[in-house]
Amino acid sequence: MSAILLVAVPLLVAFLSILTKKFAPYLLILVGLFNLVMLFLLQDGTVIIGGFDQPLGINLFLNLYSRIALLLINGLIVIIALLNIREYGKFGSILLLAMAGLNGLVLTVDLFNFFVFLEISGIAAYLISASNKKPTNTFQYLALGAVGSSLFLFGLIILYAMFGTLNMSAMITAITANDNYTDVILPFTLMFIGLGVEAKLLPFNSWVKGVLGNSNTMSGPMIASVYAAALSFVLGRLIDKLFVFEGTLLTVVTVILTAGILLGDMMAFSSKKTREILLFSSVAQASIIALLFVNGILAWAVWLIVANALSKTVMFLVINKAVKDIGCDETKSLRGLFTNNIIVGIAFTLATLSVMGMPLLVGFIIKLRFLTSLAALGQIWLIAIILIASLIEGIYFVRLLVKLWFKEDNEISVKYNVSFKLVFVILALALLVFGTYTAPYKSITIDDSVTEVILSD
Amino acid sequence: MTLFDIISLVVGVLLLVIAFLAINAKKLINSVLFLSALSMLAVVSFVLLKAPDVAITEAVIGSGLVTALFIFTLLSVRKEETK
Amino acid sequence: MIQYAAIILFVFGLYGLFVNRNVIKMIVSLNIMEIGLNIFIISIGFNYEGIAPILTSTTANGLIYVDPLPQALVLTAIVIGVGTTALGLAIAKSIHKTYNTFELDETGDAE
Amino acid sequence: MKIKNLFGLLLSLVLGVFIILAMNNSEIFPAFGEANIAGRVSQDYFADANVAEVGSANIVTAIVIGYRGFDTLGEVTVLFISALGVAIIFGGKKQSRLDLQFKPNFMLRVGSRVLFGIILVTSFYIIFHGHLTPGGGFPGGAIIASAVLLLYLADDRFRSNVKGFKILEGVAGSLFVIIGLLGLVLATYFLQNFLPVGTVGDLLSAGIIPVIYVLIGLKVGSEISGIVDNFLTEEGSA
């Protein structure tokens, strides 16, 4: 009963699922539920693989940080699979492999193993985006993803050549022992750029517009919320523990991220297509999350990832279902979408308000707390930039909501079946409940030791 | 300049020249053939660097199957044009 | 010298990827980048007096071996490269079937 | 040579030289050829206790399967996903072979059958001696795939038994994971060696390493043959 089952069981079922094509989606949901149950039974700790401890073999490490990430990933994959059984049954084994890849990515402590799982989840993401029937965008995503993981491997090998180990915890102790910071600037930038491609940070994410711009009810939520959340968690752990940003590198990274926030929101402000508005706002959110990790504000970055993933799932599901029925993506053609499906409209509005950070919702508490933490750190400039970005965000989201609620002349008939509505209501309620009832934020303490990669016994 | 240095210098220069030709080749077939020559040179450099396991794998996979896949793609495309 | 050639090969692949707009040429540049990276990975473990890491007779100790760990990593990296290339070529074929060209600029919606 | 290419070339050369200089003046980055494994993890791979415990003469194979078997499991999954992806992207019912306006004569068709057998024998030799001599599952499997490729090229009506390859691929992959789980159940860790190790250097040694390498060889061989089959067939009538 060790954490390895979270990766081994989806792999085993995926290998078997190609023999029985029909049962793949049902197997996927069974394995997802099995993982969720396992997560409540597993204790924290280091899992040794292959019988050889840390320097020779590979270890997995489960603690509160990866437990929250795994709960979010497996839960969302089960929800998305449940909603897309009939239409995308063919992608059952691919979603199983994506689940195994993402679980391994979050759990592993060995850097090369991290690269292998980055590659597995990457290739699964290329195939999920292939369901959009747009081969040029999938090809661009594949080309950029391959460049990203090769850069990551290049940085990782330079670190191995310098410090002689591949294990993250041994690498951290070796880096702190060797205090000459100029050696590690090159590998850290290469690895940061490599992960920046997958985590949608601004200068490297030209693939996002194409892939998410014409996504469907399965690839949109999968890439926009599940992959984004997993990679933000993993990038956060690396930024917080491995990449010690100082001096010029810190300013360069902060400039890149703040540019990402502002440019992302401006592009969302100026775009006419609803899905582009959503994807540019998630680009801005990804840069905000990375900025919080760089400044060491762990707890609120984790809650921001969770809240963002939940609300983006609702938003992408609603818009993709509507675009599939109507066919056109322009905001003016979706006008008056919620007039005849009120419940879906309310859920979408709650999710949007939570992303904006309106009171009574999860987003408000998180935004308030991480702004105060930034103020405590004296980062006045960052607070100004984030507030400007939220102002722009508020304008384009309110403009979108007004269009979607009040119908002009055209009559839109978009029908959401019951299972969609059920999911929307549950997620919207979660955003509302955790917005007002703030006990869990205090009870679950996420402090600096949580992203620790060795169990400091 | 030991024998090893001379050979590695020749292999290094050849690697760069063929890679440049592969990127700027006019026709696709030439570019693919340069790629297969490049992976054969990679096999030579793996043997030079005393990595026999990797040399065998790169020989079979790199110059064997990857080039074959490229050429099949180009052949199936040319067949559609003539149809 | 081979290590410098490998690094420049890696950068050539990056250059080729951003200069070309032809799908097959981009996959060729991706392969060039991976070949350069693999040679670089092996070159950091190389030692002039070292021999291949295979224990012939267990009695002879005191021999200097080449670092075996990068070779194990490159075995995995090569097969990952094949996987990505096969997928890229399949997508290239489907691009050609829908747009009847390999040039990304002529396929309309590609920015 | 357009100016853009020349400018791009110069830019990439400058970046390459910058990376080389950045690595040269950092003193803990070992210069080319002076990689001493004393300071690195791979020092312990040669320690006699570990060699005896894993039992494989080829240290690289010991690392690929024995110490870092989880990497290899991940990497076999990568190949599995690309074979699955190629099948999904091509989709459609595949009946007829791509006719390449090349009519092989009788001698070629028969000759290739003979050569097919010989290539298969060499590939099994490489797979079985994976833990003794260079080679192993990956090159062995790729050689099986190149034998199938030879039949495809030499005979334009040949269609390999795609269904059989799919089943072989699924079974070999799941057996690999099951051996890992057996390690978890019998021994104490996933992918741990629970078979006797025997003396280093003879054929039946190194516990589960030869078994896993045979499974990897079969899986890689069937997967790449599946990819070749997808590339060489098209829809079209039977």
Ordered by where they begin, the domains of chain C are: 2-48+65-106 (1.10.287.3510)
Of B33, D97, D232, D76, give the one whose Cα is nearest residue C90: D232
Tokens found for residue A67? 């437990």
Confidence check: pLDDT of A205 > 80:
no
Instruction: State whether residue B23 is helix, strand or coil.
Output: helix
Q: Which pLDDT tens digit goes with each residue over C2-34?
A: 888 999 999 999 998 888 888 999 999 999 999
| DSSP label of A49 | E
Of D90, D91, D80, give the one whose Cα is nearest residue A17: D80
Q: What is the pTM of this model?
A: 0.93
Q: Does C36 touch chain A (CB under 8 A)?
A: no
Cβ pairs B/C, distance under 8 A:
123
Tell me which of A288-297, A335-344, D92-101 is least confident.
Answer: D92-101
- State the average pLDDT over residues A16-26: 83
- Residues 6 or more apart whose Cβ sits within 8 Å of residue C12: B16, B19, B20, B23, C29, C32, C33, C36, D12, D16
How many domains is chain B built from? Answer: 1
Find the Cα–Cα–Cα–Cα dihedral D46, C38, A233, A208, rounded to 10°: -170
Tokens found for residue A126? 């290329």
Name chain C contacts of D34, Cβ cutoff 8 Å.
Answer: 47-48
CB contact under 8 A, C104 and A136: yes
- Domain housing B26: 3-82
Q: Which pLDDT tens digit goes with each residue over A261-273?
A: 888 888 888 888 8
pLDDT band (50, 70, 90) for residue A455: very low
Tell me which of A30-44, D26-40, D139-153 is least confident.
Answer: D26-40
A60: β partners: A47, A108
What does the alpha-carbon distance between residue C66 and residue C61 come to, in Å, rounded to a whole number? 14
Chains near D (3 or more Cβ pairs under 8 Å): A, B, C
In three state form, how does the secondary structure of chain D look? CCHHHHHHHHHHHHHHHHHHHHHHCCCCCCCCCECCHHHCHHHHHHCHHHHHHHCCCEHHHHHHHHHCHHHHHHHHHHHHHHHHHHHHHHCCCCCEECCCCCCCCHHHHHHHHHHHHHHHHHHHHHHHCCCCCCCCHHHHHHHHHHHHHHHHHHCCCCCCCHHHHHHHHHHHHHHHHHHHHHHHHCCCCECCCCCCCCCCCCCCCCCHHHHHHHHHHHHHHHHHHHHHHHHHEECCCC
What does the alpha-carbon distance between residue A150 and residue A147 come to, in Å, rounded to a whole number? 5
pLDDT (0 to 100) of residue C59:
53
CB of A315 within 8 A of CB of A348?
Answer: yes
Chains D/A: 3 or more C-beta pairs closer than 8 A? Answer: yes
Task: Give the residue carrying structure tokens 């002349």.
Answer: A409
pLDDT band (50, 70, 90) for residue D79: very high
ipTM of the complex: 0.92
CB contact under 8 A, A126 and C87: yes
Q: Does C84 touch chain A (CB under 8 A)?
A: yes
Q: How far is CA A64 from CA A355, A450, A451, B23, B61, in A?
A: 24, 7, 8, 48, 42
Amino acid at A124: A
Instruction: State whether residue A412 is helix, strand or coil.
Output: coil
Nearest residue of A to residue C11, measured between CA atoms? A151
CB of C65 within 8 A of CB of C53?
Answer: yes
pLDDT (0 to 100) of residue B37:
94
pLDDT band (50, 70, 90) for residue B10: very high
Query: How many residues in chain D?
Result: 238
D34: β partners: C47
Question: Nearest CA of chain D to the CA of B10: how many Å?
Answer: 17
pLDDT band (50, 70, 90) for residue C81: very high
pLDDT band (50, 70, 90) for residue D237: very low
Question: Nearest CA of chain A to the CA of C93: how many Å?
Answer: 9
Nearest to A142 among C44, C91, C99 (CB): C91
Instruction: State whether residue A307 is helix, strand or coil.
Output: helix
Name chain C contacts of A140, Cβ cutoff 8 Å.
Answer: 104, 110
CB of C76 within 8 A of CB of D66?
Answer: no
Q: Where are the domains of chain A?
A: 5-454
Tokens found for residue A247? 């001096």
CB contact under 8 A, C110 and A136: yes
| DSSP label of C4 | H
Phi-psi region of D195 (alpha: psi -120 to 50; beta: other; left: phi over 0): beta
Question: Nearest CA of chain D to the CA of C50: how many Å?
Answer: 9
Report residue D91: phi and psi, to 5°.
Answer: 55, -165
Question: Nearest CA of chain D to the CA of B30: how many Å?
Answer: 17
CB contact under 8 A, A15 and D173: yes
What does the alpha-carbon distance between residue A253 and residue A151 come to, in Å, rounded to a whole number? 17
A48: β partners: A59
Q: Which pLDDT tens digit goes with each residue over A423-434?
A: 888 888 888 887
pLDDT (0 to 100) of residue D95:
64
The mean pLDDT of chain A is 84
pLDDT band (50, 70, 90) for residue A451: low
Tokens found for residue C16? 């080729």
CB atoms within 10 A of CB B83: 5
How many CA atoms does the CB half-sphere of A315 hold within 13 Å? Answer: 30
Name chain C contacts of B36, Cβ cutoff 8 Å.
Answer: none
pLDDT (0 to 100) of residue C48:
83
D58: β partners: C54
What does the alpha-carbon distance between residue D178 and residue A196 come to, in Å, rounded to a whole number? 36
pLDDT band (50, 70, 90) for residue A127: very high
pLDDT (0 to 100) of residue A273:
83
Q: Which pLDDT tens digit goes with each residue over B29-82?
A: 999 999 999 999 999 999 998 888 899 999 998 888 899 999 888 888 877 666
Name chain C contacts of A166, Cβ cutoff 8 Å.
Answer: 69
pLDDT band (50, 70, 90) for residue D238: very low
Name chain D contacts of B24, Cβ cutoff 8 Å.
Answer: 1, 5
Nearest to D79 among C7, C69, C83 (CB): C83
| DSSP label of A252 | H
CB contact under 8 A, C11 and D60: no
User: What is the widest separation between alpha-carbon atoms in chain A?
Assistant: 69
Interface test with C, best of D26, D82, D169, D230 (most C CBs within 10 A): D82
